[in-house]
């Protein structure tokens, strides 16, 4: 029986894959939509990217971790505004139903999320 040795590239990109919800795939199981990474000019690792629908859930979980693991609905108003700002920076509101999903997670209305976004836009104006 041959022992499977992990390619050094797999170990190097593991934190990145974990952060974005991607999974490494053996080259012989790679599909056309997978991304093949090369090492010294040769295919070394295939990466399967997550579906966009799960991206927002991962972002919300990351926000909870950044705020000491507290449920987002329990944050105070300023913390919720910060969450909305961070999520906007990461493109959370480009996902279909992003505002609704974030509003539910924060325990506020869609209108409140839009207010947070507008307040943020107003603070960026010269």
In DSSP terms, 21 is beta-bridged to none
On whether residue 2 sits in a domain, the answer given is no
Q: Hey, how many other C-beta atoms are within 10 angstroms of the C-beta on 55? A: 19
56 and 44 part of one domain = no
Name the pTM for this structure.
0.62
Task: Note down the domain range covering 86.
Answer: 52-122
Contacts 24+ apart (CB under 8 A), 3-11: 7/39, 7/44, 7/45, 8/39, 9/37, 9/39, 9/44, 9/45, 10/44, 10/45
Do 30 and 72 belong to one domain? no
56 and 22 in a single domain? The answer is no
pLDDT score, position 125 = 47
Span 42-100, pLDDT tens digits: 999 999 988 766 788 888 988 999 999 999 999 999 999 999 999 999 888 988 889 99
One domain for residues 20 and 62: no
How many separate domains does the chain show?
A: 2
pLDDT of residue 111: 97
Give the pLDDT band (50/70/90) at residue 126.
very low
Q: Is residue 36 part of a domain?
A: yes
**Does 15 lie in the same domain as 29?**
yes
Q: Where are the beta strands (DSSP E) in the chain?
A: 23-25, 35-39, 42-48
User: Is 32 found in the same domain as 15?
Assistant: yes
Calpha distance 106→89 (Å, rounded): 17
């Amino acid at each position: 029986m041959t022992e499977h040795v992990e390619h050094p590239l797999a170990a190097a990109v593991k934190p990145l894959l974990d952060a974005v919800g991607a999974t490494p795939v053996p080259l012989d199981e790679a599909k056309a939509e997978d991304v093949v990474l090369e090492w010294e000019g040769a295919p070394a690792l295939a990466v399967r990217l997550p579906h966009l629908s799960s991206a927002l859930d991962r972002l919300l979980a990351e926000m909870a971790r950044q705020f000491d693991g507290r449920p987002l609905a329990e944050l105070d108003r300023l913390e919720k505004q910060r969450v909305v700002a961070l999520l906007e920076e990461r493109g959370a509101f480009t996902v279909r139903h992003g505002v609704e999903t974030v509003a539910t997670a924060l325990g506020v209305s869609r209108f409140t999320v839009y207010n947070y976004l507008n307040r943020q836009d107003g603070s960026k104006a010269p």
